[in-house]
Amino acid sequence: MTVPPKRIRIVGVSGAGKTRLGQQVAERTGLPRLELDAVFWAADWTCRARRRWMRGSTG
């Protein structure tokens, strides 16, 4: 019996197509997609406080 994955990590260099691949994987598997830039960076590309991104807040 095969157990479906709960998480899939996609890594690569800038411009390699990680975002597009992540979108396709999320659509096909139904798994949620999380962009780490949204967790780590604020809207003006300043680093969020470590406490905020450690608990996963994007707000």
Q: pLDDT digit of tens for each residue in the chain (59 aa)?
A: 888 888 999 999 989 999 999 999 999 999 999 888 887 888 788 887 766 556 655 54
Tokens of 11: 């890594």
Q: Is there a contact between 7 and 32 (Cβ–Cβ < 8 Å)?
A: no
How much is the pLDDT for 29?
92
d(CA 9, CA 36): 11
Predicted TM-score (pTM) of the model is 0.65
Whole-angstrom CA distances from 12 to 9, 19, 46 are 10, 10, 22
